[in-house]
Amino acid sequence: MTETAPRVGKPGEVAHVDPKNVRRAAWAGMVGTALEQYDFIIYGTASALIFSKLFFPNISPVAGLIASFSAYAIGFLARPLGGLFFAHFGERYGRKWVLVSTLFLMGAATFLIGCLPTFKSVGVLAPILLVVLRFLQGFGAGAEQAGGATLLTETAPLGRRGRLSSFVMVGAALGTVLGATAWVLAQKLPDDILMSWGWRMIFWASIFVTAGAWIIRVRMAESPIFEELKKAIDVEHAAPLKDVAKHGKKNVLKVIFMNWGISTQSYTYQVFMASYLVTFVHVNKSFVPNVLLYGAQFGAVAAYVMGVLADKIGRRRMFLILAGAAILIPFPAFIALNTGSHFWIIVVMALGFITAAQGITAVTMSFFPEMFGARYRYAGVTLGREFSSIIGGGVAPLVATGLMAWFFNSWIPVAAYMVLTMVVSFLIARTVPETADRDLQVLTDAQPGESRLGVAGSDQTSSHTVGALRPSPEPASVPTI
């Protein structure tokens, strides 16, 4: 006899899918993540190009770059704390509440960075204030992508979760496009103007993205899965962090290590390689934002395509294909970068965005939420993603710069570091069952045999009920790799 998992609502019951709300949720996820990525790209590019001169001028260029990237890393160290804080409220008051709150925190912190005095004006107070605002920026971002991914996955109709949740990463790519475009325009200014107020305009411009995202987010509805959960349990007195620690810690650890390689490679491409091209390949720094711009355009298309493919052939298989590609790319990538050819530099960045930065991350936007049970899904995704940022993207530019200095400016250790982290992600992903279109109202974590790959239509969704806790004789998951 098949043992079934506890579930929110009646078996066989399928929440009504409102197409208008699905569209609003897609836009909300896309625009909000665009703001987050805009914030991080403009800050990361500023760290690589000018912040060492503005906030850390009294040390050597390499030390200034390390100090600048250290301030950048503070934002990632703040993300798990923000994740812990906002995940608690996201499981009690809803996904929408968190997404509106984090939006304002990120937008305000970014705007205020543009108002900061420099080291020349106030001395050591300037980098201190920079670090504080960077911390607040990261604190707000700690629940942003996880919140958008959870809301979209819980709102999307069966058979379309992969493509709709991929809009979160389409938004991230568009945020990179906006940030890179802002730097392309700013670098057309004379150097003295750029260093005085030109860079500030880039940070002040975030207010327009914030306003647009706010308008969309206040009009969207709450996740239907969360609405069902509120009827079944007392969410306002629930203890989601305690629940995820008791029942979901295994999957949280898996998400941490699955996301380690992704986060490391993503921010190595997006942040470290900008400084590498300028400092070691001696590419004109005005070309760097153009490289990010081209890469992000490829990434935006790749995010949606990978989301569609994740619906068609499965989350697990798509993850493993892209992780395998990301393992093979780093060594040839650095060889191509060192040619100094603009063409090969753009090819490398495009491949980086297509695989690690946007493609594989787009797959995780539905993969990670589907791994967790309904009662602590937001908390599980948030904690897994954001704790991985400490060992991944937050320190990746700093570690890469340190490896270059330690190994006499050799890129080989950096490429090996990128490969190693992605190998770990690949191996951990092999231990996770296929999750495509599993019943998100089940309170327990994903088990083998629950997946209903690509289900669509009322005749199929009406029979999409509780999955088995034990593997079924003929699992409905895709073939393993």
- On whether residue 10 sits in a domain, the answer given is no
Average pLDDT over residues 57-61: 68
Q: How confident is the model at residue 65 (pLDDT cuts 50, 70, 90)?
A: low
Alpha-carbon gap, residue 89 to 66, rounded angstroms: 35
Q: Which of 171-175, 200-204, 217-221, 450-454 has the highest average model confidence (pLDDT)?
A: 200-204
Query: How long a stretch of residues is the chain?
Result: 481
- Tens-place pLDDT, residues 263-278: 999 989 987 887 788 8
CATH of residue 135? 1.20.1250.20
Average pLDDT over residues 182-204: 88
Q: How confident is the model at residue 354 (pLDDT cuts 50, 70, 90)?
A: very high
Q: What local confidence, expressed as pLDDT, does residue 147 receive?
A: 82
Q: Which of 85-99, 274-288, 319-333 has the highest average model confidence (pLDDT)?
A: 319-333
- On whether residue 403 sits in a domain, the answer given is yes
Average pLDDT over residues 344-355: 93
Alpha-carbon gap, residue 268 to 276, rounded angstroms: 10
User: Does residue 98 or residue 312 have the better pLDDT?
Assistant: 312
- On whether residue 361 sits in a domain, the answer given is yes
Residue 464 has pLDDT above 50, yes or no: no
User: Does residue 186 or residue 255 have the better pLDDT?
Assistant: 255
User: Does residue 5 or residue 346 have the better pLDDT?
Assistant: 346
Q: How confident is the model at residue 30 (pLDDT cuts 50, 70, 90)?
A: confident
User: Does residue 109 or residue 397 have the better pLDDT?
Assistant: 109
Q: How confident is the model at residue 14 (pLDDT cuts 50, 70, 90)?
A: very low
Alpha-carbon gap, residue 350 to 348, rounded angstroms: 5
Q: Does residue 67 contact residue 57 with C-beta atoms inside 8 Å?
A: no
Residue 346 has pLDDT above 80, yes or no: yes
Residue 362 has pLDDT above 90, yes or no: yes
Q: What local confidence, expressed as pLDDT, does residue 460 receive?
A: 53
- Tens-place pLDDT, residues 402-427: 898 898 889 999 999 999 999 999 99
Alpha-carbon gap, residue 3 to 89, rounded angstroms: 32
Q: What local confidence, expressed as pLDDT, does residue 245 receive?
A: 83
- On whether residue 1 sits in a domain, the answer given is no
Q: What local confidence, expressed as pLDDT, does residue 62 receive?
A: 65
Task: Calculate the average pLDDT of the chain.
Answer: 82
The reported pTM is 0.81
Q: Which of 225-234, 393-402, 461-470 has the highest average model confidence (pLDDT)?
A: 393-402
- On whether residue 34 sits in a domain, the answer given is yes
- On whether residue 477 sits in a domain, the answer given is no
User: Does residue 161 or residue 395 have the better pLDDT?
Assistant: 161
Q: Does residue 402 contact residue 66 with C-beta atoms inside 8 Å?
A: yes
Average pLDDT over residues 240-254: 87
| Pick from 386, 391, 388, 374: nearest CA to 438 | 374
* Weakest-pLDDT range from 94-98, 197-201, 370-374: 94-98
Q: Does residue 130 contact residue 66 with C-beta atoms inside 8 Å?
A: no
- Residue numbers of the domain that contains 449: 19-461
Q: Does residue 303 contact residue 467 with C-beta atoms inside 8 Å?
A: no
- Tens-place pLDDT, residues 37-56: 888 778 877 877 777 788 87
Q: What local confidence, expressed as pLDDT, does residue 457 receive?
A: 57
Q: Does residue 122 contact residue 268 with C-beta atoms inside 8 Å?
A: no
- On whether residue 113 sits in a domain, the answer given is yes
- On whether residue 437 sits in a domain, the answer given is yes
Alpha-carbon gap, residue 37 to 172, rounded angstroms: 5
- Tens-place pLDDT, residues 169-186: 998 888 888 888 888 888
CA distance between the termini of the chain: 30
Express as a percent the part of the chain with pLDDT over 90: 30
Average pLDDT over residues 362-371: 95
Residue 20 has pLDDT above 60, yes or no: yes
Q: What local confidence, expressed as pLDDT, does residue 2 receive?
A: 39
Q: Which of 61-70, 153-162, 228-237, 454-463 has the highest average model confidence (pLDDT)?
A: 153-162
Alpha-carbon gap, residue 197 to 387, rounded angstroms: 35
Alpha-carbon gap, residue 72 to 133, rounded angstroms: 11
Q: Which of 51-55, 191-195, 280-284, 299-303 has the highest average model confidence (pLDDT)?
A: 299-303
Number of DSSP helices (H) and strands (E) in the chain, helices first: 25, 0
Structural domain tally of the chain? 1
